[in-house]
Amino acid sequence: MRHIFASIILIAGDVLVFYGAIFIALSIRSWQLPSFEFALRNSAAFSFVLPIWILIYFYMGLYKFRNIRDLSTLIGDSIISFFIILGISAMVFYLFPEYLLTPKTHLLLAATFTCTGWILLRRTWLYTIYSQELSQRVTFIGENSIILSIIDDLKQIQHSGFQHVPRKEIDKYLRLEMDIDQEQSQEAAAYRLKTLVDLLVVDSAQIEGDSDFAGKLIDLAHYADIPIWTDLDFYEELYEKIPPELASRPVWLLSNVFRRRRDLYRAYIKRVMDILIGSAAFVAGLPFLLLVAATIRFFDGRMVLYPQVRIGFHGSPFTFWKFRTMIPNSDTNGYLWGQGKSDSRVTKVGKILRRFRLDELPQLWNVVKGDMSLVGPRPTWVGEKQAFKLKHYNLRHLVKPGMSGWAQVSHRATDNLEDTIDKLHYDLYYVKHLSFGLDIAILLKTIRRVLQPEQVYHAMIRTDVKTSSRKKKAA
Q: What mean pLDDT do residues 102-113 have?
A: 79
Residues 266 and 147 in one domain: no
Residues 212 and 176 in one domain: yes
List, for residues 6-20, the tens digit of each pLDDT value.
778 889 999 999 999
Torsions phi, psi of 236, nearest 5? -65, -40
Identify how many contiguous H helices and E strands the chain contains and give both numbers. Answer: 24, 9
Calculate what percentage of the chain has a pLDDT beyond 90: 28
List, for residues 206-250, the tens digit of each pLDDT value.
887 878 878 877 777 777 778 889 998 899 888 889 887 777 677
Parent domain of 120: 2-129
User: How far is residue 378's CA from residue 399's CA, in Å, rounded to a whole number?
Assistant: 11
Torsions phi, psi of 141, nearest 5? -110, 105
Is residue 412 within 8 A of residue 341, CB to CB? The reply is: no
Q: Classify residue 250: in a domain, yes or no.
A: no
What pLDDT, on a 0 to 100 scale, did the predictor assign at position 469? 41
> Is the alpha carbon torsion for 326, 408, 119, 22 positive or negative?
positive
Residues 210 and 124 in one domain: no
- Nearest to residue 86, comparing CAs of 106, 61, 63, 58? 106
Residues 190 and 295 in one domain: no
Which residue did the predictor score with more confidence, 157 or 447? 447
What pLDDT, on a 0 to 100 scale, did the predictor assign at position 471? 41
What pLDDT, on a 0 to 100 scale, did the predictor assign at position 2? 58
Query: In this structure, which amino acid lies at residue 277?
Result: I
User: How far is residue 28's CA from residue 459's CA, in Å, rounded to a whole number?
Assistant: 38
What pLDDT, on a 0 to 100 scale, did the predictor assign at position 473? 43
Q: Classify residue 64: in a domain, yes or no.
A: yes
Q: How far is CA 438 from CA 33, 88, 143, 187, 319, in A?
A: 42, 19, 32, 41, 27
Highest mean pLDDT pick, 1-10, 121-130, 133-142, 403-412: 403-412
Tally of domains in the chain = 3
Q: Classify residue 436: in a domain, yes or no.
A: yes
Last residue of a domain, one of 76, 111, 129: 129
User: How far is residue 308's CA from residue 362's CA, in Å, rounded to a whole number?
Assistant: 12
Q: Classify residue 302: in a domain, yes or no.
A: yes
List, for residues 186-201, the tens digit of each pLDDT value.
667 677 777 888 888 9
Last residue of a domain, one of 129, 149, 168: 129
Residues 146 and 263 in one domain: no
Please state whether 362 falls in left (phi above 0), alpha (psi between -120 and 50) or beta. Answer: alpha
Q: Classify residue 307: in a domain, yes or no.
A: yes
List, for residues 427-452, the tens digit of each pLDDT value.
999 998 888 888 988 988 888 788 76
User: How far is residue 311's CA from residue 380's CA, in Å, rounded to a whole number?
Assistant: 6
CATH number at residue 157: 3.40.50
pLDDT at 155 over 70: yes
Q: Classify residue 251: in a domain, yes or no.
A: no
Which residue did the predictor score with more confidence, 244 or 122? 122
| 144-172 as b/e: b if 16+ CB within 10 A | eebbebbeebbeebebbbbbbbeeeebee
Q: How far is CA 475 from CA 270, 305, 363, 395, in A?
A: 33, 36, 31, 17
Residues 91 and 206 in one domain: no
Residues 330 and 451 in one domain: yes
Residues 409 and 298 in one domain: yes
Residues 151 and 114 in one domain: no
What is the DSSP secondary-structure string of 316-352? -EEEEEEE--B-TTTTTT----S-GGG-TTB-HHHHH
Residues 198 and 298 in one domain: no
Residues 304 and 417 in one domain: yes
The upper half-sphere exposure of residue 363, i.e. CA atoms within 13 Å in the direction of its Cβ, equals 24
Last residue of a domain, one of 129, 158, 173: 129
Residues 282 and 321 in one domain: yes
Highest mean pLDDT pick, 94-98, 105-109, 274-278, 441-445: 274-278
Q: Classify residue 75: in a domain, yes or no.
A: yes
Query: In this structure, which amino acid lies at residue 118?
Result: W
Which residue did the predictor score with more confidence, 91 or 335? 91
Q: Classify residue 429: in a domain, yes or no.
A: yes
pLDDT at 389 over 80: yes
Q: How far is CA 317 from CA 138, 275, 354, 400, 424, in A?
A: 46, 20, 24, 12, 19
